């Protein structure tokens, strides 16, 4: 087993240990007659992320480029729930793209686990620096942090895998920077829409904390008066 595969396996084990220690499944348990609000985005992430990582034609490209989606998953579900989601997405590439276990583990760590973890750590730094500020959340945690995270993870993974020398290396750096900027923009856009219309679908957002007002709940249909 290659050294990098051992390192990736250790990182996965540590991430799963930390995730399970906080029992993230509690966020998906029904309470009363209602389902928890995170159930819908959790199922959506489990559906979309494996498809995103197994788009046909990626292997034929001269540069190994694809969207990560991990920063968005970490912001929506929180890091503990993001770990099992990115692991399932990575293992799914063994079926959808014909990857070996080592390849699936590599994409899980570099495209999922490390970006999600950096989004957690850097996002915590943004919150410590600026406090519960909505603009800091949107521009910092939902745009700048994913941008830096995706660019750093993409370039580091490429350098470890096959180097970034020559004209191909320069092209790859530019392509990864543009890809990171595009994904960070979409992440910020999706998060902004969820803050406006579905704030309860965001594990990292709270109306009471950021807007200083009670949490918004979906309007309930009024029943006709009983006779």
Domains with residue ranges and CATH for the chain = 3-20+34-206 (1.10.1760)
58: Cβ–Cβ under 8 A, 6 or more apart, which residues?
64, 65, 66, 97
Give the residue-averaged pLDDT of 193-206: 94
The predicted-structure confidence for 153-174, as pLDDT tens digits, reads as follows 888 877 775 544 445 567 777 8
Give dist(CA 122, CA 145) in Å, integer.
6
Compute the mean pLDDT over every residue in the chain, rounded to the nearest whole number.
Answer: 84
Give the residue-averaged pLDDT of 110-117: 93
The predicted-structure confidence for 76-110, as pLDDT tens digits, reads as follows 999 999 999 999 999 998 998 888 898 889 889 98
**What per-residue confidence (pLDDT) applies to 168?**
59
The predicted-structure confidence for 37-60, as pLDDT tens digits, reads as follows 999 999 999 999 998 888 754 444
Give dist(CA 164, CA 171) in Å, integer.
9
User: Using an 8 Å Cβ cutoff, are 51 and 102 in contact?
Assistant: no
Give the residue-averaged pLDDT of 115-136: 94
Is 60 exceeded by the pLDDT of residue 4?
yes
**What per-residue confidence (pLDDT) applies to 227?**
40
Is 50 exceeded by the pLDDT of residue 182?
yes
Confidence of residue 216 (pLDDT cuts 50, 70, 90): low
Per cent of the chain over pLDDT 90 is 54
**What per-residue confidence (pLDDT) applies to 128?**
94
């Amino acid at each position: 087993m290659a050294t990098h595969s051992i390192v990736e396996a250790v990182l996965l084990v540590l991430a799963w240990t930390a995730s399970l220690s906080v029992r993230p499944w509690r966020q998906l348990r029904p309470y009363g007659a209602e389902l928890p609000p995170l159930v819908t985005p959790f199922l959506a992430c489990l559906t979309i992320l494996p498809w995103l990582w197994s788009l046909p034609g990626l292997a034929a490209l001269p540069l190994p480029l694809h969207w990560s989606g991990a920063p968005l998953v970490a912001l929506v579900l929180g890091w503990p729930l993001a770990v099992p989601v990115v692991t399932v997405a990575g293992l799914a590439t063994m079926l959808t793209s014909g990857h070996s276990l080592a390849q699936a583990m590599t994409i899980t760590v570099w495209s999922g686990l490390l970006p999600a973890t950096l989004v957690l750590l850097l996002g915590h730094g943004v919150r410590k620096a600026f406090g519960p500020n909505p603009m800091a959340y949107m521009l910092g945690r939902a745009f700048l942090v994913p941008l830096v995270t995706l660019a750093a993870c993409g370039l580091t993974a490429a350098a470890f895998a096959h180097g970034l020398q020559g004209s191909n290396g320069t092209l790859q750096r530019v392509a990864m920077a543009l890809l990171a900027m595009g994904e960070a923009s979409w992440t910020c856009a999706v998060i902004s829409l969820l803050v406006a219309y579905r704030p309860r679908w965001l594990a990292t957002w709270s109306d009471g904390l950021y807007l200083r007002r009670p949490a918004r709940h979906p309007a309930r249909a009024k029943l006709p008066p009983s006779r």
